[in-house]
């Protein structure tokens, strides 16, 4: 059976998008996703994203496999790509610029803006250790500036869930972090029972943060939308940054707001189609 796909990226965080609207199960298995994501023997991507029929009154459902075949709850750059993919699929019949998407992290709404950017209501961050999950604090406590031993060093970490787990640490110089060697040690640390994404953040100004990321199930990526949101929330919790800031990633900037009004996190950034193909 031939399967059509389209490659998209959000700030270099790249995905294979598949039109899965005729079935509620992904047409690709996790093992196949691993092969497709391979940058030497496959198409090359950080993950595979499926546009499935909506559930519970939503317009569509998003599922995603990381490049290691694991299934995360949410993906910020991916849901912007999905918004543009859906608009492309709907073509002439498109009637809306805001989609209600069911994800494993709840209903998320990407909105296509007139300037081509996509603004996403990423929902409420979860702050309690039991929700993240991590055993770094008691299940009903927040994890703010907790010491964590990794690679022979004590890091102060703050943990936030945007549906998926994030461990954030603030550093003087983000370029000096040996991400290749320590990223995997954070990801697989026993205090994170479902593994974790890890963000290293340099506060340049209260409204401008530099970030590098090691993603659970994908390793070093050029950008992570949920990670940028979680990092801004961590920056506010530790009184290091404002509620509205630019997060500069290796692939480019994202605008992030943790609203004082509704306590939801909003992310705005690009999503680009790269090419289409047939498997």
Ligand X SMILES: N[C@@H](CCC[C@H](N)C(=O)O)C(=O)O
Q: Is residue 161 near ligand X by the rule CB under 6 A?
A: no
The answer to whether 75 contacts ligand X (rule: CB under 6 A) is yes
Q: How far is the CB of 52 from ligand X (least distance, A)?
A: 17
Question: Which burial class, exposed, middle or buried, applies to 10 when counting CB atoms under 10 A from its CB (0-12, 13-18, 19+)?
Answer: buried
Q: From the candidates 75, 167, 229, 241, give the one annotated as an active-site residue.
A: 75
- The active-site residue, picked from 81, 224, 229, 241, is 224
Tell me whether residue 68 or residue 206 sits nearer to ligand X (CB atom): 68
Q: Of 151 and 220, which CB lies nearer to ligand X in the complex structure?
A: 220
Minimal distance, residue 20 CB to ligand X, in Å: 18
Whichever of 49 and 52 has its CB closer to ligand X, that residue is 49
Per-residue contact track with ligand X, 35 to 64, x per CB under 6 A? ------------------------------
Tokens 């490049």 belong to which residue?
Answer: 67
C-alpha–C-alpha distance, residues 228 and 235, integer Å: 10
Identify whether the C-beta of residue 234 lies closer than 8 Å to the C-beta of residue 158: yes
Report the distance separating Cα 38 and Cα 54, nearest Å.
29
Site for ligand X (CB under 6 A): which residue of 102, 146, 161, 164?
A: 164
User: Which of residues 83, 123, 133, 217 is near ligand X by CB under 6 A?
Assistant: 217
Regarding 72 and contact with ligand X (CB under 6 A), the answer is yes
d(CA 61, CA 53): 6
Q: Which span sits near ligand X by CB under 6 A: 70-78, 99-107, 149-157, 185-193?
A: 70-78
Tokens standing for 226?
């949920």
* 76 labelled binding-site residue: yes
Question: How many residues interact with ligand X (rule CB under 6 A)?
Answer: 18
Q: CA-CA distance, 171 to 39, in Å (whole number)?
A: 31
> Would residue 37 show up in a list of annotated catalytic residues for this protein?
no
What is the DSSP code (8-state) at residue 174? G
Which token pair is 130? 């039991």
Residue 151 near residue 185 (C-beta atoms within 8 A):
yes
Instruction: Please report, as ranges, the residues that interact with ligand X according to CB under 6 A.
Output: 13, 66, 72, 75-78, 164, 197, 215-218, 221, 224-227
């Amino acid at each position: 059976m031939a399967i059509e796909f389209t490659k998209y990226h959000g700030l270099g965080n790249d995905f294979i998008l598949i039109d899965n609207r005729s079935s509620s199960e992904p047409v690709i298995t996790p093992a196949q996703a691993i092969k497709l994501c391979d940058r030497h023997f496959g198409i090359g991507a950080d993950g595979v994203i499926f546009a499935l029929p909506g559930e519970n009154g939503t317009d569509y459902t998003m599922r995603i496999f990381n490049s290691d075949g694991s299934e995360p709850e949410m993906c910020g750059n991916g849901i912007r790509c999905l918004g543009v993919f859906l608009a492309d699929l709907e073509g002439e019949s498109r009637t809306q610029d805001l989609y209600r998407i069911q994800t494993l992290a709840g209903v998320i709404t990407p909105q296509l803006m007139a300037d081509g950017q996509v603004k996403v209501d990423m929902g409420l961050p979860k702050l309690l250790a039991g929700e993240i999950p991590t055993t770094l604090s008691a299940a009903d406590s927040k994890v703010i500036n907790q010491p964590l031993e990794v690679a022979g060093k004590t890091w102060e970490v703050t943990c936030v869930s945007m549906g998926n787990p994030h461990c954030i640490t603030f550093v003087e110089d983000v370029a000096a972090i040996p991400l290749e060697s320590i990223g995997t040690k954070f990801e697989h640390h026993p205090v994170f029972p479902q593994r974790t994404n890890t963000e290293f953040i340099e506060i340049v100004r209260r409204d401008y943060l530099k970030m590098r990321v090691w993603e659970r199930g994908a390793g070093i990526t050029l950008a992570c939308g949920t990670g940028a949101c979680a990092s801004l929330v961590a920056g506010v919790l530790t009184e290091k940054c404002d509620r509205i800031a630019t997060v500069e990633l290796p692939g480019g900037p994202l605008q992030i707001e943790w609203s004082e009004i509704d306590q939801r996190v909003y992310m705005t950034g690009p999503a680009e189609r790269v090419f289409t193909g047939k498997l």
